[in-house]
Amino acid sequence: MYRVLIVEDDKKITEILKNHLSKYGYEAEAVIRFDEIIKKFEEYAPHLVLLDINLPFYDGFYWCRRIRTISNVPILFISARTDDLNQVMAIEHGGDDYIAKPFHLDVVLAKIKSSIRRAYGEYAFRQEEKEQLDVNGLIIDLNKMQVLWKDELLSLSHKEFLLLMKFVKEKHRAISRDELLEEIWDEQTFVDDNTLTVNVNRLRKKLDELGLSQSIETVRGYGYRFSVHWGGE
C-alpha cells in the first residue's frame, strides 16, 4: 500500500483527502506539528507528499527544498494560490505538480496515480535493469535517482530525473514537447505546458552549472534535442 503524507493546516481539507485516499487503497497520514515536518517525513517514509504552501512557521516552498535534500519522492503542491508565479515557484523549488484550490478530488487522485506510476509502478525503472548508466563520465544511478559528474552530486527532482533519462535514451534526436509531456506526465489533461518549460530550463541550468553547457538544445516550434558533446561523443 502506497503511503501519502498530507501537509495541510486546514483540518477539514485534510480529513477529506485522508478519507478519499483511504477509499481508493492508499494509506494517508497528516502532519500535526508543523515545526517538525522533516521529522514526520523521515518517520513515515511516504511514497508521495501533498504539500500546501500557506503553512505555520515556514511555507511549503521551504519544506519542499528541505525534503529535496534527503529524498526524490514525488511532491504535489496543493494551494489556493492560483497565479502562474506561484505555480512556477513550486516547480522551481522542487515540486512535481501543482493542484489549485478548490480542487476536484478526482483530479487529485488522477495526479497521485500518475505520480505513483511514474515513480514506482509500470513506468518506473525495473530492478533488473543496470543500476548505473555511464554517459561519457556522467554517472546516473537508477536506484538512488542521483547523478554524479566528476565527484560532484547533482540534485534533481523526480521529474527532472525522468527528463534526463528520456534525453539520454533519445540523445541526438529531436523530441517533441508532446512526446515529453506524454512520457513524463501521462495525465496531460491536467498539465500546463509551462510546467515542461520550467522543468527543462531548470535541468538545463543544473547541467550548465556542472560544466555540461549546451547539452539541451531548443528545437524551435517543436521541442528539444539532447547532445552528449563531452568525452569525444
Tell me the pLDDT band of 116, cut-offs 50, 70 and 90: confident
Pair 12, 104 in one domain: yes
Q: Considering the domain boundaries, does residue 149 fall inside one?
A: yes
Question: Which of 76, 96, 120 is a domain's end point?
Answer: 120
Number of domains in the chain: 2
Question: Which of 97, 120, 143 is a domain's end point?
Answer: 120
* pLDDT higher than threshold 80 for residue 193: no
Average pLDDT along the chain: 86
Q: What is the pLDDT of residues 14-51, one digit of tens each?
A: 999 999 999 999 999 999 999 999 999 988 889 999 99
Q: Considering the domain boundaries, does residue 126 fall inside one?
A: no
Q: Considering the domain boundaries, does residue 199 fall inside one?
A: yes
Grid coordinates of 129? 535493469
Pair 141, 89 in one domain: no
DSSP string, 97-160: EEEESS--HHHHHHHHHHHHHHHHSTTSPPTTS-SEEEETTEEEETTTTEEEETTEEEP--HHH
Domain holding 170: CATH number?
Answer: 1.10.10.10
Domain span at residue 212? Answer: 132-226
* pLDDT higher than threshold 80 for residue 129: no
Pair 81, 173 in one domain: no
Pair 116, 148 in one domain: no
Pair 108, 17 in one domain: yes
